[in-house]
Every structure is written in structure tokens, then in C-alpha cells.
Chains A and B, each alone.
Chain A
Amino acid sequence: DIQMTQSPSSLSASVGDRVTITCRASQSISSYLNWYQQKPGKAPKLLIYAASSLQSGVPSRFSGSGSGTDFTLTISSLQPEDFATYYCQQSYSTPGTFGQGTRLEIK
């Protein structure tokens, strides 16, 4: 199975900050990488697919980049509603493994 490792596991930031979350795959997955946001008690929400494509309806302050084994999710200017947990997921091969999550908290 492909292992997905996110860093950091948790992060404290302030409204207006620029934030970057990293996801590393244990082998090359080309651009088969998705990002999700999850708020407490809610289902995950798709933010980014194919490493850098913004899902319809997602604010443009979210962006993704990378290919191969190293990927990043960037939030350009944090808004109050962005405090949540973020997961990467590879869709290169089954099982479609997720990273362990990055919890983004208010500083």
C-alpha cells in the first residue's frame, strides 16, 4: 500500500495568515492527489483534485501543487471558516490511502 504522510500534524495560525500543509507519498503517484477539509461532526469536503485543480465552489484562496511524491496545500489568507482538519488522499492505486490529517487551529 502507498503510505501518505502529512506535516505538520497540527498547526496554529491567525486569520489572514498564509498556511502551507505538506503531503508526501511513499512512492510516485504522479498527480493522483486530492485534498479534503473536514470540520467536527461533518463529512469531508473535496477542495483540490488532481493535485492542483480547484473543486467547483471552493474559494480561490485554496491552491494545491506538486507531483510525484511531494505535494502542498496552501491557503493564501486564512478565514475563520478555514479552521478544520485537512487530509490528502492518493488515487493512484487501491487502497486509496489518506494522510493522517493536519489539524489547523486558531492561534
Chain B
Amino acid sequence: QVQLVQSGAEVKKPGASVKVSCKASGYTFTSYDINWVRQATGQGLEWMGWMNPNSGNTGYAQKFQGRVTMTRNTSISTAYMELSSLRSEDTAVYYCARALRITIFGVVTGDAFDIWGQGTMVTVSS
């Protein structure tokens, strides 16, 4: 079935980097953008950025510019999100999500995240 499977939990020290993977299966990996969303404990959802697995093009939220890098390896249908200069406020669950391009009567009407990974807990602590 169509799914995204993420790598396991990470514990990092402040200032370090973390790289989370997201392996796609059940569909053509290069046909859909991958987005990354994070959620601190008890908090809401925060969009971090997107990547086109076909071209490698990316777009990041201003908040994470300079600290986040999204890449992919198409040979193994896997997307990656690396966040550097970690601080305690980066402690959160990180999700990858497939972006379904919505087209109604031939008109593009945005994207929606139809398939999500199970989440990866990243804890930043000294």
C-alpha cells in the first residue's frame, strides 16, 4: 500500500544536526512533492518546507532558512530533512507528508497532504 516510513527517534545535543529519512513505497516517488511538518509536544502543526523529488527543487519556511536542507535519493525512494544548529525549541515530532496536487475542472486548487509518515521524535537536550 501507499506509505511513508520514517527513521527512528533521535536525541541530540544543542548545536548538533539531525537528519530524518522518509521512505516512500506503493507509488512513484518522483510524482509527488514531499513536505515536512513538525509538532512540538502539545502544540500545533508547523510547516517547514517542500521538496520536488523529481527535480530536487526545494522551498523552505523563512523561519528555517539557513538551517534546514531537504534532499532525496530517488534510487531508494527516500527523502531527507536535515536540521542544523539544533536548540531545545526544536524538540518535536517531525513528519513527512506527500502533497497531492488538487485539480478541479482542470484548475489547480492547491495541494493537500494525503499520506503522512508515522513521525520521528527529535529531542534536543544537553
Chain A partners chain B? yes
Interface residues on B, range: 20 to 34
Contact string against B for A residues 6-41, beta-carbon threshold 8 Å, 1 for contact and 0 otherwise: 000000000000000000000000111110101000
Contact B47 A31 (CB under 8 A): no
A19 to chain B, nearest CB (A): 19
- Chain A hits for B45, CB < 8 A: 36, 38, 44, 87, 89, 98, 101
Interface centre among A87, A90, A98 (most CB of B within 10 A): A98
Name the CB-closest residue of B to A48: B112
Which residues of A lie under 8 Å from residue B113 when comparing CB positions?
Answer: 34, 36, 44, 46, 89
Whole-angstrom distance between the Cβ of B57 and the nearest chain A Cβ: 12
Q: At the interface, is chain B mostly helix, strand, loop or mixed? A: strand
B44 at the interface (CB under 8 A from A): yes
Asked if A60 is an interface residue, CB under 8 A from chain B, the answer is no
Let me know if A97 is at the binding interface, CB within 8 A.
yes
Q: Find out whether the CB atom of B44 lies under 8 angstroms from the CB atom of A44.
A: no
What A residues does B114 contact at CB under 8 A? Answer: 46, 49, 55
* B95 contacts chain A at the CB level, 8 A cutoff: yes
Cβ < 8 Å to B, chain A residues 83-107: 87, 89-92, 94-101
B44 adjacent to A87 (CB under 8 Å)? yes
Interface range, A side: 20 to 34
Q: Say yes or no: A95 contacts B111, CB within 8 Å.
A: no
Q: List 28 A-B contacts (CB under 8 A).
A: A31-B109, A32-B109, A32-B110, A33-B110, A34-B110, A34-B112, A43-B116, A43-B119, A44-B37, A44-B97, A44-B113, A45-B116, A46-B100, A53-B102, A87-B44, A89-B47, A91-B110, A91-B112, A92-B110, A94-B47, A95-B61, A96-B35, A96-B47, A96-B111, A97-B47, A98-B44, A99-B44, A101-B44
